[in-house]
Amino acid sequence: MTVPFMDLSRQIASLRPQLDAAIAECIDTCSFIQGERVRHFEMEFAASVEAKHAIGCGSGTDALYLALKALRIGPGDEVILPALTFGATPEAVLMAGATPVIVDVDANTHLLSLPAVARAATARTRAVIFVNLYGQISTLHHFSGLCGERGWFLIADAAQAHGARLGGVPTETFADITCYSFFPGKNLGAFGDAGACTCNDDAWAADIARRRDHGRSSKHTHDFSGVNMRMDELQAAVLSVKLPHLPAWTARRQEIAAQYHTALGGLQGITVPSAKPADSVWHLYVLEAARRDELAAHLSADSVSARVPYPRSLSQQPAFRNFASSTSVAESKTHSALALPVFESMTEEEVLRVIHSVQTFVKTAP
Ligand X SMILES: *Cc1c(COP(=O)(O)O)cnc(C)c1O
Residue placing its CB nearer to ligand X in the complex, 61 or 250:
61
Contact (Cβ atoms closer than 8 angstroms) between residue 310 and residue 294: no
Work out which of 85, 171, 235, 250 binds ligand X, going by CB under 6 A: 85
Work out which of 125, 181, 240, 327 binds ligand X, going by CB under 6 A: 181
59 binds ligand X (CB under 6 A): yes
What is the b/e burial string over 248-270, where b = at least 16 CB atoms within 10 angstroms of the residue's CB?
A: ebbebbbbbbebbbebbeebeeb
Return the closest-CA partner of residue 254 out of 280, 287, 286: 280
Q: d(Cα 325, Cα 55) in Å, to the nearest integer?
A: 34
Considering only the stretches 105-113, 155-163, 221-229, 293-301, report the one whose residues sit in contact with ligand X under the rule CB under 6 A: 155-163
100 binds ligand X (CB under 6 A): no
Return the closest-CA partner of residue 342 out of 355, 331, 327: 355
Residue placing its CB nearer to ligand X in the complex, 160 or 357:
160
Considering only the stretches 24-32, 86-94, 238-246, 355-363, report the one whose residues sit in contact with ligand X under the rule CB under 6 A: 86-94
Binding mask 107-146 for ligand X (x = CB under 6 A): ------------------------x---------------
Considering only the stretches 9-17, 80-88, 298-306, 314-322, report the one whose residues sit in contact with ligand X under the rule CB under 6 A: 80-88
Considering only the stretches 58-66, 76-84, 144-152, 274-282, report the one whose residues sit in contact with ligand X under the rule CB under 6 A: 58-66
Return the closest-CA partner of residue 260 out of 364, 339, 162, 345: 339
From residue 33, alpha-carbon distances to 27, 38, 227, 232, 263 in Å are 12, 8, 14, 5, 48
90 binds ligand X (CB under 6 A): no
235 binds ligand X (CB under 6 A): no
Phi-psi region of 215 (alpha: psi -120 to 50; beta: other; left: phi over 0): left
Contact (Cβ atoms closer than 8 angstroms) between residue 291 and residue 365: yes
Which residue in the shown chain puts its C-beta closest to ligand X?
A: 60
Count of C-beta atoms within a 10 Å radius of residue 32? 12
313 binds ligand X (CB under 6 A): no
204 binds ligand X (CB under 6 A): no
159 binds ligand X (CB under 6 A): yes
Q: d(Cα 104, Cα 108) in Å, to the nearest integer?
A: 12
320 binds ligand X (CB under 6 A): no
Residue 205 CB partners (closer than 8 Å, separation 6+): 52, 53, 55, 197, 199
160 binds ligand X (CB under 6 A): yes
88 binds ligand X (CB under 6 A): yes
282 binds ligand X (CB under 6 A): no
Count of C-beta atoms within a 10 Å radius of residue 47? 11
Residues that bind ligand X (CB under 6 A): 59-61, 85-86, 88-89, 131, 157, 159-160, 181, 183, 193, 195
